[in-house]
Amino acid sequence: MLVRAGTVADYDELKPVLIDYNDDRIAVYKFQDQFFAYLDICPHQLGPACEGLIVGNTEADILPDKTVKEFVSTEKYNIACPWHGAEFDLETGKWRSDERYRLKSYRVEIIGNEVMVDTL
Ligand code: FES
């Protein structure tokens, strides 16, 4: 079933639009002209994962002198659960620390200017 989640114009980059569907809440994100939708339930302890911050992914480069330089990515982002800080890849929903766990994702379809979430 397709559920309306506003229009494309309602979306700012990396700011979720939350929609209620039955007894659940779904968060829809726009990032680089793509849309991603996740159930707002954290696989860790069922916290409201999508109501936390969006943070750049912490990455590292190994320098020629073999030292490691960490930096915060401006290209890859995570959804950080507000309860215990688990971070999920914004583009896949996978938990960065353990990819066996992920946010439940939904397909998003743009019909005209309408953002539609497929809840099946
Ligand atoms: S409930 Fe989300 S990190 Fe614990």
The CATH number assigned to the domain holding 15 equals 2.102.10.10
State mean pLDDT over 5-34: 96
80 lines ligand 1 (CB under 6 A): no
Domain limits at 48?
A: 2-118
Quote the number of domains for the chain.
Answer: 1
CA of 43 relative to ligand 1 center, distance in Å: 7
pLDDT tens track for 55-95: 999 999 999 999 999 999 999 999 999 999 999 999 999 99
At 120, the pLDDT band (50, 70, 90 cuts) reads: confident
At 115, the pLDDT band (50, 70, 90 cuts) reads: very high
Calculate the average pLDDT of the chain: 96
Distance (Å, rounded) from C-alpha 38 to C-alpha 15?
A: 13
How would you list the strands of the sheet with 105-111, edge to edge? 2-7, 114-118, 105-111, 34-39, 24-31, 17-21
84 lines ligand 1 (CB under 6 A): yes
The answer, as to whether pTM is greater than 0.75, is yes
